Amino acid sequence: MHSRIAALARAAALAAACILAAGPARGADTLRSWNTGPTKSAVVQFLRDVTTPGGPDFVPPEERIAVFSHDGTLCPELPAPAELAFLMDRMRALAPKHPRWKSKEPFRSALARNMKALAAAGTKGVMELEGAATGGLTTDEYAAQVLRWLEKGRNPRLARLYDQSALLPMLELLDLLRAGGFTIFIVVRGDAAFLRPWVEKTYGVPAAQVIGSGLRTKFTAQKGTHVLVRRAEFDLMDDGPGRPGAIYRAIGRRPIAAFGNADADMEMLEWVASGAGKHLVLLVHHTNGGNEFAYDRKGTFGRLDRGLDAARRQGWTIADMTKDWNRFFSKPGK
C-alpha cells in the first residue's frame, strides 16, 4: 500500500512540475483577454523570469507573493465600491431606528448617497459606517448578511451583480500567477471581513489572504456557545504610506508583484518596486467608458494622479484598458 502511495506521490509531483514548467510558456494563452503588445509581454516575461529554475532571476516559490488592490484593480469601483453600496443599503434599512444619523456625518452622506462626501470621508468614514451599521452582529451573522446582500447587490451602471463584476483580464492574471506558484493577497481599504465570505468563489483566493481594516470584536458567551461580536471600534489600515506596513504586518515579507490603480496604492507599489530582485509593478488605467469607466486623474473613488506620473517616470507597467484589453467580463451582466 505504501509503495503505491509513494509512486502516486511521485507521479503527482512530476505532473505538478510539468504544469508549473509549462505555466510561463502558456502565459500568452492564459491571458486571452489581453491584446498582444508590450504590457502583456511584460507580464509573461516576468513570470518566465522568476519561475525558470537556474535562471538569473529565479525566485523560490515561498517568496512568490503578489498583492492586488481590490476596488478598481480586480473589479470596478464606480459608482461606489461594493462595501459602500452594502453599507448604504443597510443604513437605509436601519435609519428609522437611528434618527440622529440624519444630522451626523458620515451617516448623513451615506443616507443621501452623496458619493463625493463619502469619498472624502475616506477609509475612516467607511469603518465608521461599518461600526454603526454592523456593530452588535456576531461575525457569523455579519458574513451571512453580506452573502445575502450579494444575491441581489448590483452595480447600477454596469447592471451586474457585484460578485460577478470581477474584471476578466485580472482573473486571468490571478490564474497565471497561481500556475506560477504565487501566493496571492488582496488588499482592501475597508473591512477585510466584508470580502472574506466571497473572495474564494469570486477570485479563488482563500479568505485568510485578505488584508484590510477591521472592526474590533468582543469574545462572549451567548446561548451556551462562544461568539465574536462586532464592536463599533476599528483598526484602520491607513492608505498610502501606511499600506506597506499593513502588508508587512500581515504577511511578513515584501511581495515581488503588486497591482494597483490609484494614488492610495502608490507607496505599496514603490515598496515592491524597491525590492532587490526581479519584480512586477502594474497599474490598471481606467480608460474605457464604454465597457467600464474612464476617469484617472478625476476619479471620485480611485483617483489616479500622482500614480500615473510615477508609473511613467519609474517605468512601471500600465495596463490601459482600451489598448490592452479585448474583453472585460466573463459573462454578460444580469
Binding residues (CB under 8 A) for its own copies: these are 1, 5, 8-9, 11-12, 15-16, 18-19, 22, 26, 62, 65, 139, 183, 185, 192-193, 196, 200, 206-210, 214, 216-219, 225-228, 235, 241-245, 248-253, 267, 270-271, 273-274
- CA dist., res. 213 & res. 126, Å (int): 10
Query: Shortest gap between Cβ of 275 and its own copies (angstroms)?
Result: 9
C-alpha cell at 228: 465574536
C-beta of residue 271 within 8 angstroms of C-beta of residue 251: no
Query: Shortest gap between Cβ of 292 and its own copies (angstroms)?
Result: 28
- CA dist., res. 43 & res. 74, Å (int): 16
Which lies closer to its own copies via its Cβ, residue 96 or residue 252? Answer: 252
Cis (ω within 30 of 0) for the bond into 99? no
Cis (ω within 30 of 0) for the bond into 106? yes
- CA dist., res. 252 & res. 240, Å (int): 18
The torsion angle over the Cα atoms of residues 126, 285, 250 and 124, rounded to 10 degrees, is -20
- CA dist., res. 120 & res. 199, Å (int): 27
Query: Shortest gap between Cβ of 140 and its own copies (angstroms)?
Result: 8
Which lies closer to its own copies via its Cβ, residue 18 or residue 159? Answer: 18
Give the distance from CA 276 to its chain's centroid: 25
Which lies closer to its own copies via its Cβ, residue 106 or residue 197? Answer: 197
Query: Shortest gap between Cβ of 250 and its own copies (angstroms)?
Result: 7
Which lies closer to its own copies via its Cβ, residue 78 or residue 229? Answer: 229
- CA dist., res. 284 & res. 206, Å (int): 23
Q: Which amino acid is at 46?
A: F
Which lies closer to its own copies via its Cβ, residue 226 or residue 331? Answer: 226
Which lies closer to its own copies via its Cβ, residue 97 or residue 221? Answer: 221
Give phi and psi for 239, each to the nearest 5.
-70, 170
Q: How many CB atoms lie within 10 A of CB 138?
A: 17
Which lies closer to its own copies via its Cβ, residue 177 or residue 193? Answer: 193
Q: How many CB atoms lie within 10 A of CB 8?
A: 10
Query: Shortest gap between Cβ of 303 and its own copies (angstroms)?
Result: 20
**What is the Cα Rg of the chain in Å?**
21
Query: Shortest gap between Cβ of 105 and its own copies (angstroms)?
Result: 27
- CA dist., res. 185 & res. 207, Å (int): 9
Which lies closer to its own copies via its Cβ, residue 91 or residue 258? Answer: 258
Query: Shortest gap between Cβ of 5 and its own copies (angstroms)?
Result: 5
Interior angle at CA 234, CA 231 and CA 238, nearest 5 = 165
Which lies closer to its own copies via its Cβ, residue 37 or residue 241? Answer: 241
Instruction: Report the SS3 class of residue 6.
Output: helix
